[in-house]
């Protein structure tokens, strides 16, 4: 029986890597699939992982209709047994409904990958609809970690390492960015609520004006200079 599965997690937890792996495994098993993404950091119509893997994908524009794409493919003699949908948090709720219809009426497996919530901890509309409709919501096995070592469950948006809590819901970007840039950092809930990024915790630990931290609750992050240059090829930076 075909399924709609939502693989969900924070940024940087391996979703795009798993998307490419699943595409590979299903393809070598003789199944025919399509990969979709939207606003991948590596550019248009490409699905990229921070591990350096890349794959061609169809770009999901606001007017793309998944049902029409699959019907057109089948009408022209092609097969579509499964679809991979990366950055699914950006999809419109109607597009998620189209994906569910593909599962139910055309027996197409849909594997969707995306972050659940934005930098303010609010669900993205696409993710909300996926949670509402998915047969299964699967949390990824590899845990992204907060600077304190706890499992990261939330995404923070940062500027110069300082967490910001206002702004547009969608700003394409990456973790591990240089100073001055808008970036993201994954945090545990405790540190997200306290707006305590790695940078903020280091600054607080060094300031003579603040009370000593409770080290059990709030360990001081190790000082680690942000790399001034990318440490690997540009393709491995994106995901």
Ligand X SMILES: Cc1cn([C@H]2C[C@H](O)[C@@H](COP(=O)(O)O)O2)c(=O)[nH]c1=O
Contacts with ligand ADP by CB under 6 A lie at: 11-17, 49-51, 142, 144, 239
Residue in the block written with tokens 């669900």: 123
51 binds, among ligand ADP, ligand X, none (CB under 5 to 8 A by kind): ligand ADP
Q: Is 81 left (phi over 0), alpha (psi -120 to 50) or beta?
A: alpha
Catalytic site residue from 3, 44, 87, 166: 87
- Contact call for residue 185 and ligand X (CB under 6 A): no
What 3-state DSSP class applies to 140? coil
49 binds, among ligand ADP, ligand X, none (CB under 5 to 8 A by kind): ligand ADP
186 exposure class (CB count in 10 Å sphere: 0-12, 13-18, 19+): buried
Residues in the chain: 239
- Contact call for residue 239 and ligand X (CB under 6 A): yes
118 binds, among ligand X, ligand ADP, none (CB under 5 to 8 A by kind): ligand X
Residue from 166, 175, 171 nearest 50 by CA: 175
- Contact call for residue 172 and ligand X (CB under 6 A): yes
Give the nearest distance from C-beta 133 to ligand ADP in angstroms: 21
- Contact call for residue 52 and ligand X (CB under 6 A): no
Q: Is 74 left (phi over 0), alpha (psi -120 to 50) or beta?
A: alpha
CA angle 109, 113, 114 (to 5 degrees): 150
Residue from 4, 86, 95 nearest 39 by CA: 86
36 binds, among ligand X, ligand ADP, none (CB under 5 to 8 A by kind): none
Q: Candidates 9-17, 62-70, 99-107, 197-205 — which segment interacts with ligand X by CB under 6 A?
A: 9-17
Active-site residue flag, 143: no
Interactions with ligand X, residue window 142-171 (CB under 6 A): 155, 157, 169-171
Q: What tokens does 88 get?
A: 């699914």
Q: How big is the site for ligand X, counted in residues (CB under 6 A)? A: 17
184 binds, among ligand ADP, ligand X, none (CB under 5 to 8 A by kind): ligand X
Residue pair 73/80 in contact (Cβ under 8 Å)? The answer is: yes
Footprint of ligand X on this chain (CB under 6 A)?
Answer: 11-12, 15-16, 41, 115, 118-119, 155, 157, 169-173, 184, 239
List active site positions: 87
């Amino acid at each position: 029986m075909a399924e709609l599965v939502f693989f969900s997690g924070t940024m940087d937890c391996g979703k795009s890597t798993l998307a490419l792996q699943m595409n590979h495994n299903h393809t070598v098993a003789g199944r025919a699939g399509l990969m979709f993404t939207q606003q991948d950091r590596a550019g248009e119509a490409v699905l990229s992982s921070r591990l350096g893997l890349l794959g061609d994908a169809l770009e999901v524009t606001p007017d793309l209709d998944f049902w029409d794409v699959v019907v057109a493919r089948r009408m022209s003699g092609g097969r579509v047994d499964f679809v991979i949908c990366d950055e699914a948090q950006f999809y419109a709720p109607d597009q998620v409904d189209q994906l569910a219809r593909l599962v139910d009426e055309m027996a197409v497996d849909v594997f969707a990958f995306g972050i659940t919530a934005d930098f303010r901890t609010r669900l993205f509309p696409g993710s909300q609809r996926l949670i509402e409709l998915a047969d299964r919501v699967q949390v990824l096995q590899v845990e992204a970690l907060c600077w304190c070592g706890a499992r990261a469950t939330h995404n923070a948006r940062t500027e110069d390492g300082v967490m910001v809590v206002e702004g547009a819901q969608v700003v394409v970007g990456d973790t591990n960015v240089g100073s001055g840039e808008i970036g993201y950092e994954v945090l545990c809930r405790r540190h997200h609520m306290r707006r305590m990024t790695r940078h903020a915790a280091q600054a607080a630990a060094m300031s003579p004006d603040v009370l000593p931290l409770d080290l059990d609750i709030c360990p001081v992050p190790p000082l680690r200079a942000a790399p001034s240059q990318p440490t690997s090829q540009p393709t491995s930076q994106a995901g």
